[in-house]
Amino acid sequence: MSEEAAVPDLAFESATNLARMLREKRVSSRELLDLYLGRIERYNPQLNAVVTLDGERARAEAQRADDETARGVTRGVLHGLPMTVKDSYETAGMRTTCGAPALADHVPGRDADAIARLRVAGAVIFGKTNLPAFAADFQSYNDVFGTTNNPWDLSRVPGGSSGGSAAALAAGLTGFEAGSDIGGSIRNPAHYCGVYGHKPTFGLIPKRGHIPGMPGSLSAADISVLGPMGRSADDLDLGMDVLAGPDDAGAVAWKLRLPPPRRTSLRAYRIAAWLDDAAAPVDGEVLRRLVAVVESLRSAGVTVDEGARPGVTLGEATDLFGRLMHPAIAAGLPEETFEMLRRRAEAPAAAEASWEGLFARNVTQRHRDWLQANEERAQLRARWAALFRDFDALICPVAPTAAFAHDHSVPPGARTVEVDGQRRPSIEILAWAGLAGAAYLPASVAPAGLTSAGLPVGVQIIGPYLEDRTPIDIARRLADVIGGFIPPPAYTERARALEGS
């Protein structure tokens, strides 16, 4: 990577640096907002990443932030920072659809708890980013707003469900982003678009006001979390500072104090690596980048063990993840859909190892069966804890391939992706994400370079329960040895200058 490529223009600065520049009055909130709105006007028609804008209110908020800065008043660590959020977060007075036609005209009367925290910290939320309907796909398209494209290759997906979030960050259309994740929905878009993302430990960030469930829901789905996305690992820490903590009811009795990273230097870390598995084979182009990560870590003096495992095979972990996750995402299904799945689960054909049969059985399982799966999760979490007594983190793939071509032709579970020339079930994308999800563990994604075709690859860093600062710190230090965020060339100042010459 050239030195010039490593120094992006203002549109590609990290949220952390932008917040510092705002505090130091080196840039104003209005200037940043106008920059992003101008880039959205120029680039968003081809990307379709930002689907709702509230420019008038945002300009008023940015002006207020600038006026406060001039008086020496700072509301919080995000003071004046323009940002977008995934269209699954309810935003007071701004349309929130979650990509679902049934919610196409939904304008909430109050912010989601996480959005309220961003505003208290001083963020200027000026728009919403695209996702699949009800956040339920590896791609980001819906009947309300259409398809979002990957800024590295418009013919390919940005991932899902936080695909608009990752595409907007990568293309320099926003300063910061908030996503959500149950089956890799922060992590696989970060991987496909070359940005940073963090899936927090389950339960750290309140979910009230996030869709799904439907507007007004108060319960939180199992495994599902909210989390930050940005252009540096520091942005992930910044997001956790703002978003993590008990809800109003929990705050009566407890406060959150996340432990610091386990180590104070990269070479002091002890890392397990699980780079490939027959249960979800990794494409050679992706594997090459992950091997380079391991080699770079070892060259930096890090202890890396490629044989250490958390006492479970990837196939076993994937099966358990499905038994826990499928009921969580299907809780809001219409009664007629649930009955159709129940009949399918009871049919003799359901015994076949098809995704449809597996999904039907998992969605309609008895509560007794779910309790057994939950006990298996508790046993698995104990085995992960044992691994983390010897190691500080486990690195592994985010998904088996780099960004793949758009495919809207069949249901998500029946699609395939190409892995080293062989067609594999796209549902295997869930396998590597499920390792952390089923066990409630934090996981950060950091850019790990490009394939020979110029597509981003990310590395997943899974950390110990409640020790979110550790995988984020490893992601931060990893940038020193393998490089960090790289802007897609077509969206840089140099590209615009060449266009104008």
Q: Are 176 and 54 in contact (CB under 8 A)?
A: no
Q: What's the CA gap between 258 and 204, in Å, rounded?
A: 10
Q: How far is CA 111 from CA 94, 225, 226, 400, in A?
A: 9, 17, 15, 36
State whether residue 246 is helix, strand or coil.
Answer: coil
- Give the DSSP H or E segment for 384: helix 367-390
3-state secondary structure string, 275-304? CCCCCCCCCHHHHHHHHHHHHHHHHCCCEE
Q: Are 320 and 431 in contact (CB under 8 A)?
A: no
Structure tokens at 229: 């996305």
Q: What's the CA gap between 291 and 289, in Å, rounded?
A: 5
Q: What's the CA gap between 248 and 260, in Å, rounded?
A: 25
State whether residue 334 is helix, strand or coil.
Answer: coil
Position of tokens 């230097």? 265
- pTM for the structure as a whole: 0.96
Structure tokens at 313: 């095979």
Q: Are 131 and 160 in contact (CB under 8 A)?
A: yes
| Paired residues of 181 in beta bridges | 225
Structure tokens at 495: 């590209």
pLDDT tens for each residue of the chain, 501 residues long: 333 333 348 999 999 999 999 999 999 999 999 999 999 999 999 999 999 999 999 999 999 999 999 999 999 999 999 999 999 999 999 999 999 999 999 999 999 999 999 999 999 999 999 999 999 999 999 999 999 999 999 999 999 999 999 999 999 999 999 999 999 999 999 999 999 999 999 999 999 999 999 999 999 999 999 999 999 999 999 999 999 999 999 999 999 999 999 999 999 999 999 999 999 999 999 999 999 999 999 999 999 999 999 999 999 999 999 999 999 988 778 888 889 999 989 887 655 567 788 899 999 999 999 999 999 999 999 999 999 999 999 999 999 999 999 999 877 778 999 999 999 999 999 999 999 999 999 999 999 999 999 999 999 999 999 999 999 999 999 999 999 999 999 999 766 665 554
Q: What's the CA gap between 154 and 33, in Å, rounded?
A: 25
Domains of the chain: residue spans and CATH? 10-308+391-500 (3.90.1300.10), 314-377 (no CATH)
Structure tokens at 259: 């432990």
> 189: closest CA among 107, 88, 77?
88
Query: Residues 107, 221, 371, CA angle at the centre, nearest 5°?
Result: 160
The amino acid at residue 425 is: P
Cite the active site residues.
Answer: 86, 161, 185
